[in-house]
Amino acid sequence: MSSVILHLGIPMIDAFNEYGHFFTVIHYENNSNYKKLAAQCFTNLYCVPDEFSQFKCILSFYPNRHTELLEDCPLVTYHSIERYEILKQGKGICDKIKELLNEGYYLTFYVDLFFLPCSESYQKNHLNHKIMVFGYDEEQMKFAVIDTFRNFKYAASEVSFDELETAFNSYEHAKNQRDNKVVYVKFQNQEVTIDITKLKKNLECFCKENEERGIVSGVKVYDELEKGLHESEYLHLQSCNILCQHITFTKIRAKLLKELEIAEFSKKEWEQFEELEKQSKSLCNLYRKYKIVCEIRPDDTLLNQVNNYLKQVKEKHVEVINTIVNKL
């Protein structure tokens, strides 16, 4: 084949590349099994250590983001191969990528961003990062890739065959050697059944202030956001976006439950969902503003505004989650 470009769905959650990679593969809007899967996932938030970042922790939907998502998802076939196995087969990574793309597989693996011109790290620092390849053009000798290459924005780009091969082979030059596997997946339309009892229990868990597996979870992550205001290198800057996306996904979940004829919501309750989403975006903007300002000078007035807003959004967040729970 001279070129292959696989279908990309619109990711519902993309604050980190693992979520974007997951949703772009499985997102089929009119597929009832996809709707069922989405409706019962992403019910909680966690504050987890981030050993390879300048920030100590991040907010996440899963403690182990990408692997758990793929292994637990019935809508994908999931395979992996070690890097050295590809070399043992006598093929370079480019030939292996094209072979699997021809079979309809999306590929994710770590590369050294130092060698990718589309990345902020290009020619600056050696940093391994997981990207997804979803197509290629033999005539232009380029791969179609997607990732959070710049400003945490999840977006598609192109890299040449030579650039990708160099970035792949430079994996060992970077300090953060997390995963030595090439993962390849494709969508499969398996039957999905919603476990209402489990969904209800998981949503209720979010509203409880507890620790799970030694990791802070649920509404207690709001305390971690507050802690991040006082400790400049404590919490990854994307954490506020994760909170916003959790809140937006809460509204999406309600919509999916309605479409699946599992729950109905009043006009007042829909307004409640919309208001919380609006408040969370305002909080995110205010939070970022404070983080920028405090690098220049202390601002106790702005700090108090953010703290008060955190409390308000937290209370509304719990209220909205309980609204959904009471409908199940």
Q: Where are the domains of the chain?
A: 3-30+76-187, 196-325
Query: In sequence order, what are the residues at sequence separation of 6 or more whose Cβ sits closer than 8 angstroms to the Cβ of residue 42?
Result: 13, 61, 246, 249, 253
What average pLDDT does this structure show over 167-175? 85
First to last CA, the chain: 49
pLDDT at 309 over 90: yes
Contact 299, 232 (CB under 8 A): no
Query: In sequence order, what are the residues at sequence separation of 6 or more whose Cβ sits closer than 8 angstroms to the Cβ of residue 250?
Result: 273, 276, 317, 320, 321, 324
Which pLDDT band holds residue 156 (cuts at 50, 70, 90)? very high
What average pLDDT does this structure show over 236-259? 94
Buried b vs exposed e over 16-33: b needs ≥16 C-beta within 10 Å?
Answer: bbbbbbbbbbbbeeebeb
CA distance 225 to 313: 12
CATH 3.90.70 is the classification of domain 3-30+76-187 = yes
| 8-state DSSP, 138 | T
pTM comes to 0.90
| 8-state DSSP, 15 | S
Q: How far is CA 314 from CA 35, 237, 243, 286, 328, in A?
A: 27, 19, 10, 15, 22
Find the DSSP H helices in the chain: 17-26, 32-40, 65-71, 83-88, 93-102, 161-169, 196-206, 221-230, 239-259, 267-293, 300-325
Of 7-11, 31-35, 36-40, 206-210, minimum mean pLDDT range: 206-210
- The predicted pLDDT at position 150 comes to 87
Q: Of the candidates 71, 89, 92, which has an alpha carbon nearest to the alpha carbon of residue 166?
A: 92
CA distance 53 to 268: 42
108-126 pLDDT per residue, tens: 999 999 999 999 989 998 8
Contact 110, 121 (CB under 8 A): no
Of 161-170, 185-194, 230-239, minimum mean pLDDT range: 230-239
Contact 113, 167 (CB under 8 A): yes
- Residue length of the chain: 328
Of 51-60, 126-135, 299-308, minimum mean pLDDT range: 51-60
